[in-house]
Amino acid sequence: MPDQTNWNIQTIAIIGGTGKEGKGLAYRWAKAGYRVIIGSRQAEKAASAAAELHQLLGSSERVCGLTNPEAATAADLVVLTVPFSAHQETLISLKDRLQGKILIDVTVPLVPPKVTRVQMPPAGSAAQEAQQILGESVQVVSAFQNISYEHLLHDEVVDCDVLVCGGSKSARAEVLKLVKAAGLTGWDAGPIENSVVAEGLTSVLIGINKQFGVQSAGIRITGVPRDTLQE
């Protein structure tokens, strides 16, 4: 698998970016100075989501909407925020356009109606499934599964850490930069096999949310001084 030391990430495409999680991440990254492309199967939906973000940002310079293939082609790094039911189909359709890039897979293998039960696919996790489909020339990195979208669009402090798994060390380092740019705390959680933990925790957190009537249960890594994290 290629391991670049300088990825020069300036443009981010969010596939499935019309959803709440995608728009929340897009808002945070656009505010941090990145160019963000909202991807959708329908150009009209992508443009509408971009217009919503324009209103929040007070500017249209950093966000635009394109179809998923156009967005993936134009970006330096691609983020996948589709439901698990669309995971395989979306990856297969974009495989050729993702070669040589980093793909951040935010997908969680939730299988309704039992979304509080951890249900992993045969590959081991959604991220591992993505890696199998896309091949070794794509750096698949798993991240952001445990972040509640409710806080992302409102400049609120998000009391939840981000576990970053997969890809090469340099690819994880690039994703950790994006975690920080979004105002979050990220941790290098190792190889792609470890993504099963972050993905599985989502079902646990959904269950806790239901028990206590909240929407923002999260995780934090303790016992390590925060100032030791890499800049």
| For residue 6, pLDDT beyond 80 | no
- Region 74-87: mean pLDDT is 97
Inside any domain, residue 3 = no
Count up the domains in the chain and report the number: 1
* Domain housing 40: 11-228
Asked if 201 contacts 145 with a C-beta cutoff of 8 angstroms, the reply is: yes
CATH of the domain at 44: 3.40.50.720
Inside any domain, residue 4 = no
| For residue 229, pLDDT beyond 90 | no
Query: Could you give the percent of the chain with pLDDT greater than 90?
Result: 85
Our CA angle for 192, 152, 67, nearest 5°, is 70
- Region 170-178: mean pLDDT is 97
> What pLDDT was estimated at residue 1?
54
Inside any domain, residue 5 = no
- Rounded to the nearest 5 percent, the helix, strand and coil shares of the chain are 45, 15, 40
- Cα 38 to Cα 12: distance, rounded to the nearest angstrom: 9
Inside any domain, residue 201 = yes
State the pLDDT confidence band at 149, using cuts at 50, 70 and 90.
Answer: confident
State the pLDDT confidence band at 230, using cuts at 50, 70 and 90.
Answer: low
State the pLDDT confidence band at 216, using cuts at 50, 70 and 90.
Answer: confident
Inside any domain, residue 6 = no
Name the least confident of 134-138, 175-179, 227-231.
227-231
